């Protein structure tokens, strides 16, 4: 029987949810507001009312080309996500449906690589990239982003696949489906919400990655993270311009997140309630 919730409690929870959501969103909102201020306004102190100038956006675009790093961000985040899924779906299938006694250890080991500080392997990775001619290339960075996000992608897919009854796959096998057909025609359609949310989350992670994308690029493959970094100045606090650059850099991923929030929530809560 469903639990009855009083009207007062409902209103209370709604207000609490709005407060938490606003707190989380506030830094982004304030960056946007600051981008519409003049520089003296931006450093004058806390204020939610900007003068409404778009001059910072014009200056940012005049000083640096936005389109090239934007396209690089698109290529790198989508490319690395597709590549990660190509590796992760078979890996997660194997771990979910044909586990061995070492599966848990492998999963933990994969996750542990995320706990290593990236700077610890900067020099060896840099030298490898130099030797293979991968510095400042889309291919090199796509592979790098794939590798750093792969543990999370495998873990997420593994969790979703575990919720799918193995009997359905067995039935497909009994009907003569090959392994490939089993994954493509039976498993994947059933795990679409999980795969979609993994895909979206991976795109967001790849878009926001700011260590390797700055360390391994110069001009050709530099994405929007490098674009933002170029607006920090040692000769003054140019917060309004920096906010404009940040807003331009995060706007595409924010819009993507906004439109796909249903899928994201559905995927992230997949299997949470039985």
Partner 1 sequence: MNLKSFLLGACSAVALCGFANAETLTIATVNNGDMIRMQGLTSEFTKANPDIQVEWVTLEENVLRERVTTDIAASGGQYDIVTIGNYEVPIWAKQQWLLPLDGLGDAYDIDDLLPAIRGGLSVDGKLYAAPFYGESAMIMYRKDLFEKAGLQMPDSPTWEFIGEAARKITDRNADIAGICLRGKAGWGENMAFVSALTNSFGGRWFDESWKPQFDQPEWKASLQFYADLMKDAGPSGASSNGFNENLTLFQQGKCGMWIDATVAASFVSNPKDSTVADKVGFALFPNKEGVANHGNWLWSWNLAIPASSQKAEAAQKFIAWATSKEYTDLVASKEGWANVPPGTRTSLYNNEEYKKAAAFAVPTLAAMDAADITKPTIKPVPYTGGQFVAIPEFQALGTTVGQLFSAVIAGQSSVDDALTAAQATATRDMTRAGYIK
In 80-222 the beta strands, taken as DSSP E runs, fall at: none
CB of 2 to partner 1, least distance (A): 53
Euclidean distance between CA atoms 3 and 18, whole angstroms: 23
68 binds partner 1 (CB under 8 A): no
Between residues 129 and 155, which has the closer beta carbon with respect to partner 1? 129
* Residue from 130, 139, 262, 265 binding partner 1 (CB under 8 A): 130
Between residues 135 and 169, which has the closer beta carbon with respect to partner 1? 135
Stretch that binds partner 1, among 6-14, 36-44, 165-173, 178-186 (CB under 8 A): 36-44
CB of 245 to partner 1, least distance (A): 11
120 binds partner 1 (CB under 8 A): no
Neighbours of 122 (CB within 10 A): 14
233 binds partner 1 (CB under 8 A): yes
**For residues 256 and 70, is the Cβ–Cβ distance under 8 A?**
no
134 binds partner 1 (CB under 8 A): no
234 binds partner 1 (CB under 8 A): yes
98 binds partner 1 (CB under 8 A): no
CA 34-35-40 angle, to 5 degrees, is 60
Between residues 60 and 206, which has the closer beta carbon with respect to partner 1? 60
58 binds partner 1 (CB under 8 A): no
Size of the site for partner 1 (CB under 8 A): 28
Torsion sign, CA atoms 144, 212, 112, 192: negative
The two structure tokens encoding residue 152: 């999370």
Element spanning 251, H or E: helix 239-259
Q: Which DSSP string do the residues of 34-84 spell out, in sequence order?
A: HHTS-HHHHHH---S------HHHHHHHHHS-SHHHHHHHHHHHHHHHHHH
The two structure tokens encoding residue 162: 């575990």
Q: Which residues would be at the binding site for partner 1 (CB under 8 A)?
A: 39-40, 43-44, 63-64, 122-123, 126-127, 130, 135-136, 214-215, 218-219, 222, 226, 229-237
């Amino acid at each position: 029987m469903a639990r009855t919730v009083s009207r007062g409690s409902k209103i209370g929870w709604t207000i609490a949810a709005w407060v938490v959501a606003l707190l989380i969103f506030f830094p982004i909102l304030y960056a946007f507001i600051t981008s519409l201020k003049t520089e003296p306004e931006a450093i004058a102190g806390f204020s939610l009312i900007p003068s409404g100038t778009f001059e910072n956006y014009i200056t940012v675009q005049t000083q640096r080309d936005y389109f090239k790093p934007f396209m690089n961000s698109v290529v790198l985040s989508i490319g690395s996500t597709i590549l990660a899924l190509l590796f992760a779906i078979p890996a997660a299938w194997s771990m979910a449906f044909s586990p061995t006694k070492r599966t848990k250890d492998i999963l933990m080991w994969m996750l542990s690589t995320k706990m290593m500080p990236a700077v610890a392997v900067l020099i060896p990775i840099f030298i490898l990239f130099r030797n293979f001619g991968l510095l400042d290339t889309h291919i090199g960075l796509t592979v790098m982003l794939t590798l750093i996000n792969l543990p999370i992608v495998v873990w997420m897919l593994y969790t979703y696949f575990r919720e799918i009854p193995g009997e359905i796959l067995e039935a497909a096998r009994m009907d003569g489906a090959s392994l490939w057909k089993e994954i493509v025609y039976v498993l994947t359609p059933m795990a679409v919400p999980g795969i979609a949310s993994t895909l979206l989350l991976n795109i967001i992670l790849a878009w926001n990655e700011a260590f390797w994308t700055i360390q391994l690029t110069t001009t050709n493959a530099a994405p929007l993270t490098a674009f933002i970094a170029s607006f920090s100045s040692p000769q003054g606090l140019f917060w309004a311009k920096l906010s404009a650059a940040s807003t331009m850099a995060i706007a595409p991923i924010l819009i993507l997140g906004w439109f796909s929030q249903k899928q994201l929530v559905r995927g992230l809560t997949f299997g949470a309630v039985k």
